[in-house]
Structure formats: structure tokens, C-alpha cells
Amino acid sequence: MNFDLTPEQQLVRDTVRKFAESRIAPVAAELDREHRFPYELVAELAELGLMGMTVPEEYGGAGADTVSYAIAVEELTRIDSSVAITLAAHHSLGTLPIFYFGNEEQKREWLPQLASGKRLAAFGLTEPGAGSDAGASRTTATLRDGQWIVNGSKIFITNAGTDITACVTITARTGEGELSNLIVPNGTPGYEISPPMEKMGWHASDTRELSFRDCAVPEGNLLGPRGQGFGQFLEILDGGRISVAAMAVGLAQGAYDLAAAYAREREQFGRPVAKFQAVQFRLVDMATEIEAARNLVYKVAWVKDQGRPFGKEAAIAKLYSGEMSNRVVNWALQVHGGYGYMDEFAISRLYRDQKILEIGEGTNEVQRMVIARHLGL
């Protein structure tokens, strides 16, 4: 077993860390406060080749491995979750379904603009009445005169409404007991996008509700064989769980970094609080849990890169890292004391950003259901 990063993976870590610290950190609080989408930063991420990391170069991507991608997501989240989820949702949920399940014509049409980061993509699965029970989706698509007529709604969709969004891939019922995925271009008549939704965290991320009223989509926008949508989105979610698990590790690392730095500077009873054993032990527990979660994330990314089934590993990594990040960011805020409750301190933003990591891509409870199924229970 070799736990060392390759030179290429280490270069990704160094490059993304430097970018996050020099370009994102100075503006993260402002973006959060103003609920402003980070267009300039997304353009720079595109220039670095990060928006389509694992897509082959022939389609405009960087051709990187999944471990490198997880490292990039981790390093971005260490500084700011909104920027990280913009990249992760675009890559894992918006772009990869077209790469995995699209025909050659669809790949040539969509991937160059998406993998290069010039345009963004979204994935529409969750509905107001169908979250964890994704199979209960009620959005319909009826084939009529060479077009799919879509009716229904989606909610909590990331990246769907930005000025540079190209499309959303949605799951819809195309027949009795039949789910399929369709590519819906932005601007299609009958496709309406709500104003940005107000959220507890991820303030600089774009989150919308989508509605479809007799929205006509070309028959050729069906993604993969008709009726294969359920299996497709399960595979998509498995990959997305790697992204969210990497985000949890990154957020926890960022919270630890803030807590450790504060503990060294803050003095009580005549010495830095880092000299008190109670604080030291808390920081030690944080570092230990982060390391355990990071190894789970890198393992599932590696398993995926080997072309092996990774559903169980993805659920385990997502479950553990999500709950770990909750503990770590809570402890980190506690180390800050009253100052941690003030929005002028970054730990406040990380605390708000964390909770969705236990909900998105399948709640903690859903992860346990998935793991139980893999264990034959």
C-alpha cells in the first residue's frame, strides 16, 4: 500500500491551495455577506483547468484522476464552500452525466463548453415532494411529434440560474414506471427559473427552483437509453458523494486551521489557550478525525479510478466525513468562544456552511440505508 500522492496530485494540491488562499480567501466573507455569485473566480478556476478535471482532453477537460479532483475540492472548501460547491456540482452532477451516458453527438455538442468551464451545467433530481425518495419524482416528459413535452418542477438545484449556465439535466417520467434523463437547455420556452433561494449557508452559491410547463425538448436530448434514468442517477449520486465527502474534509480542515491559530493567539489566565490540556485534546481529536475521513475519501476516489464498483465506499466516506465535519466545526467554534459567534470571524461562515454536507447527495440516514444494502442487511 502506498499513501503518498503522485507528483501530479501534489501539484494539484499546491496549485489549488495557493489559488484558494490568494484569490478566494480575501473575498470569501464579502461574497457570503452580499450573496454574490463568484463569476470572476469561476473564470479563473476554468483557466486552471479545474472545471472539467476528470473529463478527457479530447472533450475539453484536463483528463485528471478522481483523487486529484477530490484534492482540488478539498482545498477549495478549506477556504470557501460556495466556490467549492459551484465547481463540484458543475463537474460531478452537471457535466459527468453527459460524459458517462451521452452519445457522441451529445458529447461533442455539450462537453467542450462545459469541461472548459466557459459554461456551467446543473442536475435536476430533487422535487418538492421527492427528496430522499428520488424514485417518487413526478416530473413527466411525453414524447410528441419528435419532442419531449416536460411538465413538473425541481427544487434546491445548484448552478441552474447563473448568467453562464448552459443546461440542466433532469430526471423525468417518460412512461409508466419509467424514468429517463433529459438535457434541457437554458432559455427553452416553458422552462422557468426562480430567483435565487435564501439559504442558511453557501450564500455565494446559486440555488434555484425550476418549473417546466409544456417545455418542448428535442427528442435527441434524451440521455442514454429511454427508461435508464434511475440507474443513471444512482451512479451520478455515487460520484457526487465523493465530492461532498471531499468538501466535508476540506471544511473540517479549514475549521481546524482557524481553531488552532486562534488558540495560539488567544490568551486567558496569562497564557495562550492552546497551552490548556482541554483545548489541546480537542484539537488532537479534530486532527485525528480529519485524517481518518481524508483516508476514506482518497480510498473511494482511488477505487473509482480503478474502474471498480465504489457505491459502498462512497456512502461510507460521505456518511463519516459529513458527521465528522459537524463535530469538528462545532468544536472549532467552541475554541473561539464568544468571538466564534460573530460573523466577522470566518468560523461563523464555516459553521453555517457545514450542515448541508449531511443532507445533500443523500442524507445521513439514506447513506446508512445504502451501506446496509451493500452489507446484505
How many H helices and E strands in the chain? Answer: 12, 10
Q: Which cell numbers hold the place of 210?
A: 425550476
Backbone dihedral angles phi then psi of residue 142, each to the nearest 5 degrees: -110, 125
CB 232 within 8 A of CB 101: yes
Catalytic (active-site) positions: 361
User: Which residues on neighbouring strands pair with residue 217, listed in sequence order?
Assistant: 148
Q: Which cell numbers hold the place of 106?
A: 451529445
DSSP string computed for 40-95:
HHHHHHHHTT-TTTTS-GGGTS----HHHHHHHHHHHHHH-HHHHHHHHIIIIIII
Element (H, E) at 149: strand 147-158
β-strand pairing of 207-218 with 191-193 = antiparallel
